Structure 1
């Protein structure tokens, strides 16, 4: 979520529009567990036979935004490889359109036994690859930028696309709901899928044979979608919702699916209206908010934010020292120093970089954070880029991204400098005009660092922390955390925002 230059010391939050996109892509790929061919399979692709191919157009809220291509091939007589490629084009005023391509690949035996699966995301500043191998009841996850492996016990029944299709063919005469598990790369968890399948007959749509109601259960979150398939359970049309807007995937030919179009300005979909203008004086003081709406987020207490549940909704009091968060344990601080896929703090590049940025080893943690924040601000491009969710390493190398890349890079550098940090996902207030709208809260990400006495906010994108920052969740940078928040943003209403004056 990036930021353009602005005449004031506080930069414009134009960069803060990506939350909805990641949730949308996750919605489009629900249940799409794909297999990546291993080297032996790659060598055999020349002898493959196409079993099924489908082109589909993808729209959001009635506006086309890309296409999906599904290709299933038989590799010799014993292996089935399925690729599902989703290509999405984003528009943003003043800059060129951005393309994001997400490919899910699955490898199975001819009888539907799962072997492996992968996910690759590519854009102008993102290129990361996740691969999972299946052996027995264990799924082993490998990442392109890390030697670490993660092991997960597979719940049963577990299916990849071809195995699921074969299971549905066997189940088609059974009126009972069909239940299975699929792997979700974005959350690195297994989703429980429940299908209610009924025959469908319509003379105007003779290709539709099955009407499927799908319920996807992700922890305490449930997503619903509607699918119309042919007799062999190939999905022809899928309808779901992302942040209140209809997502429609409809089969057509290649020319239709890939036809050029004028993308809608999707990067501005997630603005939350403020009840009124908040003055700069109030932003630099103390504000009491009241939030209501049908959301289930547990809004955190921090050193800057105090959260409490009232009859009218959730009350937040925000200022530089309004919070009542408990002091972290040594274990908490150790966790906030850990290296992970999104925050590769142990990478030699970052270890060397912090030595250059912070030559004075005796300076305070707060002083070091100010230096690191200035470095990230200067290093990252001022032009926003919303193409995917990059790791800190990708953000550093490309110098592109938005507020998430800013936050991930800053948190990684801080951890490399042995400063405990956490990534905050939430909202930031802006008095600027966006497509005719003023006085709005925009999705935002920033960093909180433990400076010895408190968790203190640092933001290399927008600048200094104000009472206009609402923390909705705390994270170690994992994409799954921002997805959980994003899918509920459209349910949040900021009912009031009142300045609390000192007496």
Structure 2
């Protein structure tokens, strides 16, 4: 079922965040890959208000997959600041050509209220803001910074609905004429995002370079005419497919495969350990052993399992549409593993249209009946939670031997569902009708766009060194 492999453009972090002190009233940017192919443009504008100021940031991407018509994805973020420069209201409206979602963040005192509104309803999250929480992704701290000592701070990520720990440090590889830095985002101790930034002598960002499945997407300043110049739609799937170092046969895929990776530019991270993936990190790289019983799985303590049952803005297991789809399977009182398998069968009948653009929540995906593997994964995870089964969403890579968009024998971006069934965590892949040893997990989340996008960034940091089938010797 390769038709449901994904398009992951979620990680193009084109614009730096809300700006607190940018004197330029208007700025234009071009978004292009490292081969010069244009994906779209962005702009920023600022105006004074009686009680402060307002900025408007727009990003527009023109994308296509296969032979389908192109789709224009547009994000517009409007931020209102008080006279001291502190943001009071951040509103982001996202359009994917057919649907609209809106995220509104109201900041008052030591908390933020984040309301996400989409066609399936609204979800409200309240976030505590520790003292010193920033809202500009560190841009103010980089003005005049020399890069000698790393920066570390807390920053509100309204799209993710939480406060992240962010670090900014000098990159191992410097680009001529600039100070190149790495801005990393963490949730607790887990790395959740990374972008390269080129700074000029004053510490202003002159380019943001986002790794994405081997493609570097760069946002850099341009004049208005250049930014708005017409361009053909960007063929995303064709550009994020990575050729496999070896051809993997069906028997090997169903067995045990050992992968060895180094880290490009020395930027190391630890892939997640799952019930099927064992991770061995050392000074020179990471080894992944993947098979049906290779890993220890996620924690199974009560707190972790309770967290994996809750409703989120992406996994709305309490939504009437999700409950209605899950109810016939729940009534059969099957084992949890069998329940997940039957829920996947039911979900396939509801998700009957292919759409590689954007990313929808479970309830939104069921409303449209459209999506790719990212929507498949969140829908199945939400159905599992509706049945009382703890679930998470894994994102990373998967192998395809078949010809897909003109290329075969490749690794491609992919997402699937993890579920705690019968006393253990196990992978369920509704898009590909099952899990095999070519599923490489790079992030685990709750189906949110940020964790899915992070998988694309991390894939770009892997230096493929070896891939081998591990065979068990037969007893004499």
Q: What's the offset of the Cα at 1:17?
A: 3.0
Q: What's the offset of the Cα at 1:174?
A: 12
How many aligned residue pairs are there?
450
**Contact between 1:125 and 1:394, CA under 8 Å: does it hold in 2?**
no
Q: What's the offset of the Cα at 1:104?
A: 1.3
SS at match of 2:10: helix
1:22 aligns with 2:15: no
Q: What's the offset of the Cα at 1:327?
A: 6.8
1:303 aligns with 2:271: no
SS at match of 1:344: coil
**Contact between 1:33 and 1:182, CA under 8 Å: does it hold in 2?**
no
Which one of the candidate residues 37, 41, 45 is aligned to 1:67?
A: 41
Normalised to the residue count of structure 2, the TM-score between the two structures is 0.82
From the superposition, tell whether residues 182 and 498 of structure 1 become closer, same or farther in structure 2 (CA, over 3 Å).
same
SS at match of 1:422: strand
**Contact between 2:442 and 2:458, CA under 8 Å: does it hold in 1?**
no
**Contact between 1:104 and 1:119, CA under 8 Å: does it hold in 2?**
yes
Aligned to 1:417: 387
**Contact between 2:111 and 2:129, CA under 8 Å: does it hold in 1?**
yes
Aligned to 2:216: 245
Give the distance between the partners of 2:299 and 2:87, measured in 1 at CA: 46
**Contact between 1:327 and 1:454, CA under 8 Å: does it hold in 2?**
no
**Contact between 1:126 and 1:394, CA under 8 Å: does it hold in 2?**
no
SS at match of 2:317: coil
SS at match of 1:371: helix
Give the distance between the partners of 2:341 and 2:447, measured in 1 at CA: 20
Give the distance between the partners of 2:457 and 2:85, measured in 1 at CA: 32
**Contact between 2:27 and 2:221, CA under 8 Å: does it hold in 1?**
no
Aligned to 1:4: none
Which one of the candidate residues 57, 63, 78 is aligned to 1:84?
A: 57
From the superposition, tell whether residues 212 and 445 of structure 1 become closer, same or farther in structure 2 (CA, over 3 Å).
same
**Contact between 2:18 and 2:55, CA under 8 Å: does it hold in 1?**
no
From the superposition, tell whether residues 125 and 330 of structure 1 become closer, same or farther in structure 2 (CA, over 3 Å).
farther
Q: What's the offset of the Cα at 1:292?
A: 2.9
Aligned to 2:68: 95
Q: What's the offset of the Cα at 1:407?
A: 0.3
Give the distance between the partners of 2:81 and 2:47, measured in 1 at CA: 11
1:475 aligns with 2:445: yes
Q: What's the offset of the Cα at 1:132?
A: 1.6
Q: What's the offset of the Cα at 1:326?
A: 7.1
Q: Give the gaps of 5 or more residues in structure 1.
A: 1-10, 35-50, 197-209
Cα RMSD between the aligned structures? Answer: 3.6
- Residues 231-267 of structure 1 show CA distances to partners (whole Å, capped at 9, x for unaligned) of 9x997x53534345250323322x5433321133223
- Residues 102-137 of structure 1 show CA distances to partners (whole Å, capped at 9, x for unaligned) of 111100134523221122222146532222222234
Q: What's the offset of the Cα at 1:343?
A: 0.4
Aligned to 1:291: 261
**Contact between 1:238 and 1:248, CA under 8 Å: does it hold in 2?**
yes
Q: What's the offset of the Cα at 1:33?
A: 5.7
Q: Give the gaps of 5 or more residues in structure 2.
A: 171-176
From the superposition, tell whether residues 300 and 80 of structure 1 become closer, same or farther in structure 2 (CA, over 3 Å).
closer
1:263 aligns with 2:233: yes
Give the distance between the partners of 1:333 and 1:85, measured in 2 at CA: 39
Which one of the candidate residues 185, 198, 201 is aligned to 1:218?
A: 185
Give the distance between the partners of 1:172 and 1:321, measured in 2 at CA: 52
Aligned to 2:174: none
Give the distance between the partners of 1:218 and 1:73, measured in 2 at CA: 30
SS at match of 2:11: helix
Give the distance between the partners of 2:440 and 2:433, measured in 1 at CA: 15
Bigger drift between 329-338 and 294-303 goes to 294-303
Normalised to the residue count of structure 1, the TM-score between the two structures is 0.78
From the superposition, tell whether residues 149 and 469 of structure 1 become closer, same or farther in structure 2 (CA, over 3 Å).
closer
1:369 aligns with 2:340: yes
The 5-angstrom pairing of residues 106-255 of structure 1 reads 106-124=79-97, 126-144=99-117, 145-156=121-132, 158=134, 183-187=156-160, 188-190=162-164, 192=166, 216-219=183-186, 223-226=195-198, 238-243=207-212, 245=216, 247-253=218-224, 255=225
Q: What's the offset of the Cα at 1:218?
A: 2.1
Q: What's the offset of the Cα at 1:414?
A: 1.1
- Residues 395-435 of structure 1 show CA distances to partners (whole Å, capped at 9, x for unaligned) of 11111221111100111011111122121112211112345
From the superposition, tell whether residues 178 and 107 of structure 1 become closer, same or farther in structure 2 (CA, over 3 Å).
farther
